[in-house]
Chains A and B, each alone.
Chain A
Amino acid sequence: MNSDSSICETAAGALYSNIINLDKVKAAHKPLAQEQLTCEADGNTAAAYACLQMWRCILFAGFPITPSTKWLETVATMVASGKCGTKKVKLLEAEHAVADYLAGAAAACRDLICATATSSVGLDHMTECTRSLGASGLGNVLLINVFRATANYPLCIEGDPSDTLAHRDDGWIQICCRGVQQIYDTILQAPCLGMHPEILTPVMPGYYGIKDSHRSSRLVVEPDAKVHAFQDRWIGPAKLPGLINGDTAMGNCVTSKFFQGFKIDQKRRMERTFELLPQIGADFEKTFGRSGLQFVERLYWPEDDVVDLAIVGMGPDIGTAASLIEKEESRRGLKIGVLGARLLTPFPRDEYSKRLKNAKAVLIVNQAHHYGAGHLTLDVTEACYTLKRRPTIVSCFAGMGGATLSDETWQKMMDHACATIGKEVKRIPPVIVHEGEVLWQS
């Protein structure tokens, strides 16, 4: 791992000595946990702990915005206490400055992870740079997005994934988490994916603001040494010393002749996620004994994939749905399955096709405002398009702006979907459901 004296060849063929001594950086790391610990933590704290435990993650930048602020506070407090070695926290003047700062730092040293967290308008402010970063090849930028209703009027500080879904085309790998432990585990795996030499794409893990960012539960914190051993299996020293000419799309200006080539390369790297994500997830599970990264979380799902009604959603509320299914199955006399979306971008359509091939109806619960059928609905519908027997797609909106999804709401949405089973239905208009009532129908 010592790259102090190594020589790197640039794309142009010039040889430069590598400056960053990774051995020294690693040696300067102070562990947060010498052995496995169990504590109570909220989602932001869990995300901060995961970042602080990575020896490569030495540079944090941020600008406070609810509900992600506690991530920044926790990181800053721990770093200021001297408990984390020589890490550095930088409070910038705005979110776009944060993204730019990270781009500069990450480009200058591709072996180190540069991290931030933001929400809603903060992510929107970063847009000018996130789209460049998405194409840059800078997989060492880690942006934790704490979901919050995005900048559409009226302002709402509660969590829905409209912010992250509005950035699906920025070129980032987007992963949705639910629950404190999954947040922690996902962030530990994210750089393994983004910094993998065949992917080199920044990662945006995300979780629901308030519902998960501020709710505390049991968190198992793994020993730093074990985290490092796991990550070191997937992240090797970057081939290049870090920037700038020729080894990144960031900062290049090209004509149309070359533009499409960049985009094809970007797509190619992004699509490697489909092969590598399950491998990283399996290694994580083998190492830590908990589920690693997956395309979808099968919360309540039969091994043979045979269901009458499949429910697809994301975030903590889909866990509520899973808890109701046993009762609903016996009440309705139907087989019902629940899938939780994990990988949002690139969208794992083949996985959805495989899981939904036997379903008669698919209820898709969208929690982000959308003028069409819903972001998740569009992707899942496309995944079902090539199935020999296409299920009826039933699109519902619920929980927008972080609204509660009560048992009655879930039952109403299931009533709506079950009513289509066994009938010839051409199109079911999307509905908005709240507290067991249909508030709006297209």
Chain B
Amino acid sequence: MITQTQQRKPIEYRNELNPVWCTGCGDYGVLKSFTRAFAKLGLPNERIAIISGIGCSSRLPGYCLTYGFNTIHGRSLPIATGLKTARSDLTVIACGGDGDAFAIGAGHIPHAIRRNPDITYFVMDNSCYGLTKGQASPTTSHEFKEMKGLIGIDEVPINPVLFVLSCGAGFIARTQSGNMAHMADMLTQAIQYPGFAFIHCLSVCVTYQGREIQEVLDQKCHPLPEDYNPSDQTQAFNIARKDPWALGVIYRRGLEATEEEPNAQ
């Protein structure tokens, strides 16, 4: 369980590097939400490890004044799991994009979920491979592929929330990169959840999707219904199947993390 240790400011979690993301990229907002969440929780910098894969969004650990790993394509989860096993005292966050998570790294998600280490997996889903100039990813919609003439038009996109819910994840939230306060809140709750926590962050690639996408997100996204019960898995499945724009904690199961540390600390 995370306990607040001291009053911190978000800027204390940023290093001197300037991000090389495109102007307007959703990843800026995510970075700010990370530092806000860390400050809110008062986490000591040296007790945080952010592990990413490869891609635009995977640059995020490089801009944080924390421990960090910009690893290899799709492998953030096994590396984060090994790290958490060796150092259970660290707050471990894996992050990356939709390609990293649901293409090359998808095979690790069910196994991380069933092992249930106390880590947070934050996926910035802009539905394209931005770093390699906008190819379709596993979450790119039929409509978008058709509009942009991308290959793979006959391939059905993955539904990330349904996927992780089906795998048995204990904490699932959805947020969007244009709403920093919401992202920070979801991340704070995910870090505090004692087990594997998944955050699906709808994000924007301004270069290969267009700036208007952020407006689309702002218009379509909405909070979960007021009477929504996140501990009800049936409701969670309904939301996962039918409402791709609902933001908030979609599912939360009361379950302790099952990974424990091996040494005699």
Which A positions have Cβ atoms within 8 angstroms of B?
14, 16, 19-21, 24-25, 27-28, 58-59, 61, 85-88, 90, 92-94, 96-98, 100-109, 112, 114, 128-129, 132, 242-245, 250-253
Contacts and interface: CB of A to CB of B under 8 A. Distances in A.
Contacts of A106: 82, 86
Interface in B37-92: 46, 49, 51, 61-62, 67-73, 75, 78-87, 89-90
A305 B69 CA distance: 50
B111 A108 contact: no
Given A108-B86, A108-B90, A93 B107 contact: yes
B73 A128 contact: yes
Interface centre among A86, A129, A245 (most CB of B within 10 A): A245
A20 B82 contact: no
B69 A101 contact: no
A330 B52 CA distance: 65
- Provide the main secondary structure of the chain A interface: mixed
Contacts of A85: 264
Interface residues of B, number: 32
A243 B80 CA distance: 13
B182 interface: no
A105 B72 CA distance: 15
Interface of B: 46, 49, 51, 61-62, 67-73, 75, 78-87, 89-90, 107-108, 111, 262-265
Given A242-B87, A244-B49, A103 B68 contact: no
Given A100-B71, A100-B78, A104-B79, A93 B262 contact: no
A150 to B, nearest CB: 21
Contacts of B73: 128
A413 to B, nearest CB: 43
A104 B82 contact: yes
A251 B111 contact: no
Contacts of A252: 70
Contact of A243 (B67, B89, B263, B264): B67
A21 B85 contact: no
Contacts of A103: 71, 79, 82
Given A96-B75, A251-B69, 15 more contacts: A20-B87, A96-B78, A97-B75, A97-B111, A102-B82, A103-B71, A103-B82, A104-B81, A108-B86, A108-B90, A112-B86, A128-B73, A243-B49, A251-B70, A253-B62
A88 B79 CA distance: 16
A58 B265 contact: no
A28 B263 contact: yes
B79 A100 contact: yes
B82 A28 contact: no
A92 B78 contact: yes
A171 B228 CA distance: 54
A250 B263 contact: no
3 tightest Cβ-Cβ pairs between the two chains A and B:
A104-B82, A88-B262, A101-B82
30 contacts: A19-B265, A21-B265, A24-B264, A28-B263, A92-B111, A96-B78, A100-B78, A101-B78, A101-B81, A101-B82, A102-B82, A104-B82, A104-B84, A105-B82, A108-B49, A108-B83, A108-B86, A109-B86, A109-B87, A112-B263, A114-B82, A128-B73, A242-B87, A243-B83, A244-B68, A244-B69, A245-B68, A250-B69, A251-B69, A253-B70
